[in-house]
Amino acid sequence: MADVKWIKIAVDMFDNRKIKQIGSMPEGDSLLLMWVQLLCLAGNVNDGGFIYLTKEIPYTDEMLATQFNKPISTVRLALKTFEQFGMIEIINNMIFLSSWEKYQSTDRLTAIREKDRERKRRKREAEKLLPQNSMEIPRTSMDVPRIDIEGDIDIDKDKNKSISKKSPRHKHGEYQNVLLSDDDLDKLKA
């Protein structure tokens, strides 16, 4: 799954009835912090609200205690409370956040994934069009990008390094890639 770098948390989160009840419990602050940590962990896993280390290895209470740096008794209390309040479900030994869509714009994620797929497909197509070994292609002066800035400022060393505007430049040379002002061309010819 693609990385998710954000989850939605409403500014009125602490006005929620369940959150208020949990906050008033013994160790309520720790439980609420663990709720936010579970939300972030679900965002890291990015599998529709499921939380696991790998698809084959679901998180155990002990693993979550290590992950969140909390006592195992607090982790167990939090999971039991969240399950009683209908905030999580345990499905095939995996934690599932019941209202994940509330915290993550799943339709937006689908659009982002689709854009990423399309961008990668275009990149692969473009790479197929490139030669296999770009070192074998002879480089010419035509390959070098040229930037032409109107009103280019030049430092004139003969006049105490005063700054002066150059006159308009014109293309010269075999490949028309040399830009010279009329004064510069006259100096070159002389």
Does residue 188 carry a pLDDT above 60?
Answer: yes
pTM value is 0.54
Domain chopping of the chain, boundaries:
13-106, 148-189
pLDDT at 171 over 80: yes
For domain 13-106, which architecture applies? Answer: Orthogonal Bundle (1.10)
Q: Which residue has the higher pLDDT, 101 or 150?
A: 101
189: enclosing H helix or E strand: helix 182-189
| CB burial readout 92-108, b (16+ within 10 A) else e | eebbbbeebeebbeeee
Cβ 41 vs Cβ 82: under 8 Å: no
> What is the rounded distance in angstroms from the CA atom of residue 28 to the CA atom of residue 78?
9
Rounded CA-CA distance 23/14 in Å is 9
Q: What is the pLDDT of residue 67?
A: 93
Name the amino acid, one letter, at 48.
Answer: G
22: number of Cβ within 10 Å: 21
**What's 123-184 look like in SS3?**
HHHHHHHCCCCHHHCCCCHHHCCCCCCCCCEEEEHHHCCEEEECCCEEEECCCCCEEEEHHH
pLDDT value of residue 162: 46
- Across the chain, what does the average pLDDT equal? 79
Reduced to 3 states, what is the DSSP secondary structure of residue 91? Answer: strand
6 vs 151, higher pLDDT: 6
Distance, CA of 61 to CA of 27 (rounded, Å): 17
Encoded tokens for 83:
């399950």
Cα 37 to Cα 30: distance, rounded to the nearest angstrom: 10
